[in-house]
């Protein structure tokens, strides 16, 4: 945890921004996978972590603005629990680490909220993403199903605070990025024909675990990089294929790293692989060169898209005017994702609070295929941390559908595009911070150019 002062000052800042009422922050509870006592690994809610830092289940909190009080609600362990879990710090000891002196039993939470409602104090809460949070809200606030209305002022205040990373948060994210880079290097060195994707996953996740971290999201370790969120691990790595890894570490405090790499299963990239790989790299460099305060990330995304479209035109896969092709969205057959997303305590930071607030500052998102997947579009500000992850994918289903519909036939040469089906996909991903003068890559970086990756595989 950071020092208690960090959490005290974050809560004071939140109170100042909201001005009145109280904030109800629900911590996460343990959830049974298939029966009550066989639980998923516990992960605290990230907004709770941001304001209270405590990685323990069974806690809820109130930040009472009207009465200037921060209260932690929870229950001390009974001897029955201690028999199974061993002795643990008391709630009062935990609360002290978060700079909280007021600790009360869980049973006092509802009466506390009842009194606030009776006094017509606004009760602010964020959107829920777990069914048990909805049930808690309904019973704590006497609401009917569907009746919970998250507070927009709270969402905006939390997003603004969490979007601007402090120096100690950046140092923590950098720790995650350092281990994340080690995970990718281990995979690049290990990938060989005959290995199973699940063996690659084990190599990658071991690095996180042996560094006291865990994965910040389910690892993607696949020879089918064209399947964007591929969560099966059964394929055998074959000669001539590319292995795409999208994996990240999460520090014990909950801060994430998120990187992607695409390395040859053989020691060397084939000439065909190099062409697409180098184009993906060019898109990444074009994007990174633009990163500085004030630049709208939508423009950075579109620059990466134009770079990819231009390269694909050189290969005969796309045709026509590159700018017009990107405005029309034709490049999205090969680059259907967003260029990047905010990163912090969540790998897609605060996605539960709404992308429109986090990445668009309340402006509406495009509904166009491709652009609708762009999670970050707003002008960049000092302290923003986000990913840069352009990709080039040859997706059989999408190609067949668009061809049958005659989509973008002025910009896509389907006969040429079909020759690349079976190639898979290429994505590299790095994590960046916006500084006052420009940007800084977080972590030591991973081998990127074909030469760097090949020399690592030979070492
Ligand atoms: N690294 C997973 C994602 O960005 O969706
Ligand atoms: Mn990502």
Domains and CATH numbers, the chain: 4-163 (3.40.350.10), 167-454 (3.90.230.10)
Cβ-Cβ contacts under 8 Å for 405 (sequence gap 6 or more): none
Distance CA 373, CA 371 (A): 5
Tell me how far the alpha carbon of residue 7 lies from the centroid of ligand 2, in angstroms. 28
State residue 69's pLDDT score.
97
Tell me what pLDDT residue 244 has: 98
> For position 358, what pLDDT does the model report?
98
Using an 8 Å Cβ cutoff, are 345 and 162 in contact? yes
Q: Pairing between strand 259-264 and 391-393?
A: unpaired
Q: Which atom of ligand 1 is nearest to the CA of 260?
A: 1
Say how many Å lie between the CA of residue 392 and the centre of ligand 1: 15
| pLDDT bucket at 230, cuts 50 / 70 / 90 | confident
Identify which ligand lies nearest to the alpha carbon of 432.
2
Q: Is the CB of 346 under 6 A from ligand 1?
A: no
Gap from CA of 258 to ligand 1 centroid (Å)? 7
User: Which ligand 1 atom is the nearest neighbour of the CA of 389?
Assistant: 4
pLDDT of res. 457: 79
Helix (H) or strand (E) holding 399: helix 396-405
Q: 179 CA distance to ligand 1 centroid (A)? A: 17
C-alpha 247 to ligand 2 mean position (Å): 9
| Confidence grade of residue 305 (pLDDT, cut at 50, 70, 90) | very high
Q: Is 86 left (phi over 0), alpha (psi -120 to 50) or beta?
A: left
Considering only CA atoms, which residue is closest to atom 2 of ligand 1? 246
The CA R_g of the chain, rounded to the nearest whole Å, is 24
pLDDT digits (tens, 9 = 90+) for 340-397: 999 999 999 999 999 999 999 999 999 999 999 999 999 999 999 999 999 999 999 9
Ligand 1 contact via 217 beta carbon (within 6 Å): yes
* 105-149 pLDDT, tens digit each: 999 999 999 999 999 999 999 999 999 999 999 999 999 999 999
Cα atoms in the 13 Å half-sphere on the side-chain side of 426: 25
Check whether 458 has a pLDDT greater than 90: no
Closest CA to 334 of 409, 221, 226: 226
> Residue 289, Cβ neighbours under 10 Å: how many?
12
Q: What H or E segment, with its residue span, contains residue 60?
A: strand 60-64
Residue 267 has pLDDT above 90, yes or no: no
Q: Considering the chain, what is the average pLDDT of its residues?
A: 97
Residue 421: which pLDDT band, with cuts at 50, 70 and 90? very high
Using a 6 Å cutoff on CB, does residue 246 contact ligand 1? Answer: yes
**74: number of CA atoms within 13 Å, CB side?**
28
How buried is residue 166: exposed, middle or buried, by Cβ count under 10 Å (0-12/13-18/19+)?
middle
Q: Which of 450, 315, 457, 440 is closest to 380 using CA atoms?
A: 440
- Ligand 1 pocket residue status of 226, Cβ below 6 Å: no
Residue 442 confidence (pLDDT) above 90: yes
Q: How confident is the model at residue 231 (pLDDT cuts 50, 70, 90)?
A: confident
302 pLDDT more than 80: yes
């Amino acid at each position: 945890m950071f020092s208690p002062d960090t959490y005290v000052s974050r809560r004071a800042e939140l109170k100042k921004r909201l001005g009145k009422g109280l904030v109800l922050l629900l911590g996460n509870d343990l959830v049974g996978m298939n029966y009550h006592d066989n639980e998923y690994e516990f992960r605290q809610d990230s907004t709770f972590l941001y304001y209270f830092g405590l990685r323990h289940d069974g806690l809820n909190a109130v930040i009472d603005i009207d009465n200037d009080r921060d209260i932690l609600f929870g229950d001390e362990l009974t001897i029955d629990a201690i028999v199974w879990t061993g002795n643990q710090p008391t709630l009062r000891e935990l609360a002290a680490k978060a700079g909280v002196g007021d600790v009360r039993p869980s049973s006092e939470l509802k009466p506390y909220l009842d009194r606030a409602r009776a006094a017509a104090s606004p009760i602010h809460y964020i959107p829920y993403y777990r069914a048990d949070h909805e049930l808690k809200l309904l019973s704590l606030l006497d609401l009917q199903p569907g009746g919970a209305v998250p507070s927009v002022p709270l969402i905006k205040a939390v997003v603004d605070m969490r979007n601007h990373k402090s120096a100690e948060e950046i140092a923590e994210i950098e720790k995650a990025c350092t281990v994340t880079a080690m995970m990718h290097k281990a995979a690049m060195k290990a990938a060989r024909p005959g290995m199973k994707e699940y063996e690659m996953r084990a190599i990658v996740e071991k690095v996180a675990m042996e560094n006291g971290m865990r994965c910040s999201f389910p690892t993607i370790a696949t020879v089918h990089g064209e399947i964007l969120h591929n969560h099966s691990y059964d394929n055998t790595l074959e000669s001539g294929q590319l292995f795409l890894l999208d994996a990240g570490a999460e520090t014990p405090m909950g801060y994430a790293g998120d990187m992607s790499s695409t390395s040859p299963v053989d020691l060397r990239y084939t000439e065909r692989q190099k062409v697409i790989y180098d184009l993906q790299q060019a898109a990444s460099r074009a994007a990174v060169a633009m990163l500085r305060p004030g630049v709208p990330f939508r423009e950075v995304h579109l620059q990466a898209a134009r770079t990819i479209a231009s390269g694909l035109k050189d290969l005969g896969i796309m045709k026509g005017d590159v700018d017009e092709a990107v405005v029309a969205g034709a490049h999205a057959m090969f680059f259907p994702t967003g260029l990047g997303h905010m990163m912090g305590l969540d790998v897609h930071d605060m996605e539960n609070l709404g992308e429109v607030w986090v990445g668009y500052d309340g402006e509406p998102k495009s509904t166009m295929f491709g652009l609708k997947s762009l999670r970050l579009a707003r002008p960049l500000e000092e302290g923003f941390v986000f990913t840069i992850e352009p990709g080039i994918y040859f997706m059989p289903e999408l190609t067949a559908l668009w061809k049958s519909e005659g989509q973008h036939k002025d910009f896509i040469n389907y006969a040429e595009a079909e020759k690349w089906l079976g190639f898979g996909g290429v994505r590299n991903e790095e994590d960046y911070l916006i500084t006052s003068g420009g940007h800084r890559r977080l972590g030591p970086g991973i081998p990127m150019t074909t030469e760097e990756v090949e020399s690592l595989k030979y070492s």
